[in-house]
Structure 1
Amino acid sequence: MRSASSALSRPLANAFLAGAVLVALLPLLLVVINAFKPHAAVVANPLSLPASLGPDNFVRAWSGGKFSIAIVNSLLLSGTTVMVTLACASLAAFALARRKIAGWQFITVYFLCATTVPIQLFLFPLYFIYAKLGILGNFAGTALILSAINLPISIFLLRAYVLSIPQELDDAAFMDGATPFQTFRHVILPLMRPGLITVAIIVFLNSWNEFLITSTFQKGRDNITMTLGYLSMNGTYATDQGALMAGAFILIAPVIVLFLVLQRFFISGMTAGAVKG
């Protein structure tokens, strides 16, 4: 009975996974297919294959969405957010994992609760402060907000990863005369690389796809990001679905390439950090 049940469950599991992959990839496939088709063909049959693979839609989308400026701004904003988040989260995770801090359970619960607080509650006071300081449209200022949003989950993930690193390594470093910061810098941090890459990917994706914060604080035509550039196409190219699909492909292509390049580190970081909680 057990072998028969196992033989039946494996095909069902494979079928379920195949269906999940199809559901996840079908929208991306439709974007790619329709990015090469004119507006009339997209409206007539979105599921049909393109007659040719011309770059006309991509040229119009690149110009209409101002992606030459937006991609630089998005990389700058996302990169700054990732660096600030990793610097703060790694230090906080090391302290929470290795030091006996009174009430650390409440701190952990606080970080978990912070992930559920809607950012809309802080938009008005933050905008008022940024306007008074004159830093609206400043990438560093916007990156600080995005870093604060991503810090709770980043600290939580990195703390779990630090806990999976043997405590004996810290003790050996202390016996050799290393300070706590030297132990963190030269022993723990190199071993945290898969976890850091995992968090970096998550934070980068969140920052790249972020719309509410960037639309509020990134004022000015020269400060638009990829999401804001794509939004600007809706007015000019509302009747050109082919160009809109090409713009969507330009928006998501860097994210897909990044994940494909770093997926090995992402998976290893997620599984390693799940050893201890």
Structure 2
Amino acid sequence: MTTVLKRPRAPFRMSRVLTWAILGILAIYALAPLVVFAFNSLKSSREIAVNPMGIPQEWNWSNFADAWSQARMGQALLNSGIIAIFAAAGVALIASMAAYAMTRLELPGKGGWILWLLVSTSLPIQLFLVPLVSWWSFLGLYNERIGLVIIYWAVYSPFATLLIRSFLISLPDEYLEAARIDGAGEIRLFFRIVLPMVWPGVLTAALVAGLQAYNEFMLAVTFIQDRDAQPVALSLYSFQQGFTTDYSMVSAAGLIMALPVIIVFVLAQRKFIEGYASGGLAN
């Protein structure tokens, strides 16, 4: 008995070609600025003024060493790493416990808490800068990295709470009821049962908060004035002199700044994508 192989229909092939064409255009749209940015990091300032979009005529690899030394990027990267790690850990703990309380405990007015989180995420932080500077100066937290981290906890926790809550909603009640029958308290129940089961969501929230804290500029430049404590996002100020900016140094420093983020994303991209996808599919 012979089987006849059917050729794929022309509309199907055309749709695939159209899909790949659209994806290719989007990829070029996303990668082209990064390629230009990388090329500019290897040019001189004079060449950027003459040829800002093209391939470098002379490959100035020394730009990276100059940018590293002039902006003191070693200390700045260390400061950003400390701030990002503590911000991510604090947001993960605060948001996961808040999400657990909102979904698994009998809190009065649960709808009001969700509304408060939605409203707090929509308000711009600029509204609170003046009172925050006054309070932080009074409390001795101004110009301190821990003071900046505390602000990041408050700013990034509402979104992280909503994200982790989407995981907790889909968590079966049977596991929690069985643990309560065995005598587990709420704290032990949270850390021993709930947290391991929603770990992808917690990790996703921590990564988002850490990356936001690493790249954040406005709060850092407002609350950190000591150069030894400044994060790497502020190191780009080192290449601005009056009304002129050395864009070759800025580009080289920007690539150095982006390298740790790229490494973290490559190592954690599977968990990151799984966390976002699972949270989006939760009811």
- Taking structure 2 as the reference length, what is the TM-score of the superposition? 0.90
Q: Separation in 2 of the partners of 1:193 and 1:239?
A: 44
Say whether residues 1:232 and 2:238 are aligned partners.
Answer: yes
Which residue identity does 2:93 align to in structure 1? A
Q: Separation in 1 of the partners of 2:199 and 2:60?
A: 42
Residue 73 of structure 2 corresponds to which residue in structure 1?
A: 67
Q: Judge conservation of contact 1:73–1:223 (CA < 8 Å) in 2.
A: yes
Q: Separation in 2 of the partners of 1:14 and 1:112?
A: 37
Please say which structure displays the higher CA radius of gyration.
2
Higher deviation after alignment, 14-23 or 214-223: 14-23
Say whether residues 1:128 and 2:134 are aligned partners.
Answer: yes
Q: Separation in 2 of the partners of 1:188 and 1:6?
A: 45
Unaligned stretches of 5+ residues in structure 2:
1-8
Which residue identity does 1:221 align to in structure 2? R
Residue 110 of structure 1 corresponds to which residue in structure 2?
A: 116
Q: Separation in 2 of the partners of 1:21 and 1:104?
A: 42
Q: Any idea what SS the aligned residue of 1:33 has?
A: helix
Q: Separation in 2 of the partners of 1:170 and 1:187?
A: 7
Say whether residues 1:189 and 2:203 are aligned partners.
Answer: no
Change beyond 3 A, Cα 1:274–1:241: closer
Q: Separation in 1 of the partners of 2:173 and 2:14?
A: 44
Cα RMSD (Å): 2.0
Q: Separation in 1 of the partners of 2:10 and 2:40?
A: 45
Give the aligned length.
Answer: 275
Unaligned stretches of 5+ residues in structure 1:
none
Q: 1:265 aligns with which of 271, 276, 279?
A: 271
Q: Separation in 2 of the partners of 1:162 and 1:126?
A: 33
Residue 148 of structure 1 corresponds to which residue in structure 2?
A: 154
**What displacement does 1:7 show?**
4.6
Which residue identity does 1:110 align to in structure 2? W
Change beyond 3 A, Cα 1:171–1:70: same
> Residues 217-246 of structure 1: CA distance to partner in whole angstroms, max 9, x if unpaired?
112121111111112322289453322210
Give structure 1 regions of 4+ aligned residues with deviation exceeding 6 angstroms.
none
Q: Judge conservation of contact 1:146–1:207 (CA < 8 Å) in 2.
A: yes
